[in-house]
Amino acid sequence: MKIKSILFCGFLALALASCGPKDADIQKEVTSKLSTLPGVEATVSKGVATISGTCKDDAVKENATVIVKSVKGVKSIVNNCEVLSPEPLVEASVNINPDAVLTTSVNEVAKAYNGVSVSVKEGVVTLTGDIKRAQLPNLIKSVQELKPKKVENKLTIK
């Protein structure tokens, strides 16, 4: 009687141990956890999870693997997610004022600074003459706000 009980308990333990989570149960949990990553999905077959979809970068792809690994019953993972290439950066166009407009505006700014002369050629403003050190930053800032192509500072600081 004792031997039958031991054999029965051993068989029962072995049967329960071999009954791991079913693919459908694993699939349900994986799908639930991956719902936080839009565009990413997974299928499960014989404990192997295959991740597919599109990821915005490598970090999202790696995160999908970590999430699926955390699900009990997943034996291995195949991550077939496609990483999207980043969109090219579009540089904002800079409006450069025409020389006539720039000359008029720069001369108005320069009137406030004694000893400063300005010239404009092809969008480049050249500053010459003498200026006090404390006045230089304000002058440069005022000239740059007029949107020249370039400002050449040839001023002598007093």
Q: If residue 62 lies in a helix (H) or strand (E), which one and from where to where?
A: helix 58-69
User: What's the confidence (pLDDT) of residue 13?
Assistant: 53
Three-state SS string across 20-37, please?
A: CCCHHHHHHHHHHHHCCC
Of the three residues 52, 83, 114, the one that is the final residue of a domain is 83
CA angle 139, 140, 145 (to 5 degrees): 100
| Domain assignment of residue 74, given as a range | 21-83
The answer to whether residue 5 is domain-embedded is no
Q: In order along the chain (158 residues), what is the average pLDDT of each group of 10 residues? A: 62 54 90 90 93 91 93 94 80 68 88 90 91 89 89 88
> Are 117 and 88 a contacting pair, CB within 8 Å?
no
108 occurs within a structural domain = yes
pTM, rounded to two decimals: 0.46
pLDDT for the residue 90: 67
C-beta of residue 21 within 8 angstroms of C-beta of residue 49: no
